[in-house]
Structure 1
Amino acid sequence: MRGKTVFIAGGSAGLGKEIAKQLAAQGADITIFARGQGQLDEAKKEILAERIYLAQTVHAVSIDLGDASKVQDAFKSQDRLPDVLYCVAGGTTHGFFTDLDARDLESCMKKNYFTAAYTAQSILRLWTEDDKAAKTTSQRLRQIIFITSAAAFLGVPGYAAYTASKCAVRALADTLRMEVLRHPDKVSTYTVHCAFPSTFITEAFVEEQKMKPELTKRIEGTLAPIEELEKQYPSATRVAEGIIAGVSRGDFAICDDSPDTSYLFASMIGPSPKRGLGVVDTFLAAYAGWFITPRWRRGWEKMCKREALRARL
């Protein structure tokens, strides 16, 4: 990554910050975007500490990533266009569907889908305009990485708003993966990637545990105390390592942090490219379809029915 410039939307905390730190440790110049300047400044210090040479730059830009015009202005105002864009910004809204109001649904879609859509659209417009004016004939690789969730593959009660927004991000990534092929250019090659992390431990996860319905925790396997969950689930550092490795391999779908996520992706692969040569995903699709996902589904349905019985008692 030495000499590359990376923009990270949602890079002030959690997974976005870990990705920024690891890419800085590989020599990349980093610009992180988020709303809170205080948290951005603290993240910038941590990222600066990971640099491998002093000339590397780290910038922190305060912005509402859910405002398309502000995103466009912020990206235009940077000294350099990035080689890579990570769309990491997001957040969770918990609660059963009938308990949510319209603002909850709109907020979750804005935090997860629109932040990804606006940042990706803005950078693609800037890249394609830059290609038209470019005088160099050397080939440039330009990449967009969407961070969605394993929630894009299944519906878990209590995640109605969140799951829908993450499904939208997956659909956007699938669509853009093909749309960028419309821009054959001697100057740039575009690739799109989509990561589907499952449960992992961050400060935000710890706070979310306080608000999740008990049924949601039971289904996703997070009912235990946080000390036990920290032993069971990966850290943001480990998840970031897997995502960066998946991008380096050229995978469209990145599901490295959990075997369960690989089963879910394989059983819902649709028109997305299979990973690697496709042999493993082909096998997993059949195995998961016959043995894994039906068992999960029946178990989750029983939990929901027991919840109804408890409510009547």
Structure 2
Amino acid sequence: MPAAPAVKVAVISGGSSGIGLACARCLLARGYQVVLLARVMDKLHSARAELGPDFAASVELIPTDVDDPASCQAAIEAVTHRYGHIDWLITSAGIVEPGMFLDLDLATHRAQMETNYFGTLHLIQAVVPVMRPMGGRITLVSSGAAFLGIVGYSAYAPSKFAVRALAEILRLELEPEGIAISVAFPPDTETPQLARERQSRPPVTRLIAEQGGTMTADQVAERIISRAEKGAFILAPSGPVAFLARCHSLYGRLFAWQQRRLLKRFGPQRASSR
């Protein structure tokens, strides 16, 4: 494999806030040139300002809609044209809209699959040809909800299950190409998205989610980055998620039983009960 260029370049989707922005902070501290991708340019400018003046010259902003493969291709081409290579892609863009299955329309299901899964896929398809000559690293961001069925996440969890499956396959297929794959499973993380999500969680979902605890975005990002650098495939930032990563098949029946008990306790979970 040819020697790596002097400037290390990382591209992060969902980079204007939350885990994506926190990952940018970690990589900037490690000497990376960071390119932040997000839909809204004003939010990207705010993100760069939040990272501070010391890193302003090391942060590039590209407005990108991950739902649109052409937008993703254009972003990757722009980065490649400027730097000639990409060392690390982190696919952190994602959305979540919880709700009971009977309350969610098809558009809600499609939107979460489009952004969480296809948004991840679009960027990876664009970046792999760039990485193949010199190798690289891709970190997919899934969720702790990707291990077990959780009441209230019939639209969100399948999209994150799909990200997990994609990562497992890419790990096998891209390893011979010199591309290291890892997949992160964050627990509830204190971000603007979590604050919005909490407002629409059905009561039973809220109770289940609270059992797993929360972490800050900086804590999650540091553990994701440090474990990926050590070559780990599964990036589980918290103890409960690490347990699920190892034991979800064994724990699944007990967890389903616990959820059935909660559903009986709360009764019908409809939109009117939120």
2:70 aligned with 1:69, yes or no?
yes
2:198 aligned with 1:218, yes or no?
no
| Pairing 1:231-270 to 2, within 5 Å after superposition | 233-256=214-237, 258-268=238-248
Q: Cα distance, 1:163 vs. partner?
A: 0.2
Under a length normalisation based on structure 1, what TM-score does the superposition of the two structures give? Answer: 0.79
Mapped to 2, the partners of 1:193 and 1:310 lie a distance apart of 36
Q: 2:91 aligns with which of 78, 87, 102?
A: 87
Q: Cα distance, 1:206 vs. partner?
A: 1.3
Q: Cα distance, 1:39 vs. partner?
A: 0.3
Contact kept? 1:8, 1:16, Cα under 8 Å: yes
Q: Please tell me the root mean square deviation across aligned C-alpha atoms, in Å.
A: 2.2
Mapped to 2, the partners of 1:115 and 1:157 lie a distance apart of 24
> 1:50/1:21 Cα in 2 relative to 1: closer, same or farther (>3 Å)?
farther
Aligned to 1:146: 140
Q: Percent identity?
A: 29
Name the SS for the 1:160 alignment partner.
coil
**Partner amino acid, structure 1, of 2:33:** D
Mapped to 1, the partners of 2:34 and 2:100 lie a distance apart of 38
Q: Cα distance, 1:294 vs. partner?
A: 4.5
Contact kept? 1:21, 1:46, Cα under 8 Å: no
Question: 1:97-145: per-residue Cα shift (whole Å, max 9, x none)?
Answer: 12111110110001100110000111002333xx2xxxxxxxx440000
2:174 aligned with 1:180, yes or no?
yes
Contact kept? 2:95, 2:115, Cα under 8 Å: yes
Contact kept? 1:24, 1:50, Cα under 8 Å: no
Q: Cα distance, 1:63 vs. partner?
A: 1.5
Aligned to 1:117: 121
**Partner amino acid, structure 2, of 1:117:** L
Contact kept? 1:180, 1:190, Cα under 8 Å: yes
The size of the alignment, in residue pairs, is 263
Name the SS for the 2:190 alignment partner.
coil
Larger radius of gyration: 1
Contact kept? 2:13, 2:90, Cα under 8 Å: yes
Contact kept? 2:190, 2:216, Cα under 8 Å: yes
Question: 1:245-294: per-residue Cα shift (whole Å, max 9, x none)?
Answer: 111111000112x211111111248xxxxxxxxxxxxxxxxxxx3xx554
2:165 aligned with 1:171, yes or no?
yes
**Partner amino acid, structure 2, of 1:106:** R
Contact kept? 2:86, 2:130, Cα under 8 Å: no
**Partner amino acid, structure 2, of 1:236:** A
**Partner amino acid, structure 2, of 1:146:** L
Under a length normalisation based on structure 2, what TM-score does the superposition of the two structures give? Answer: 0.89
Name the SS for the 1:106 alignment partner.
helix
The gaps in structure 2 that reach 5 residues or longer are none
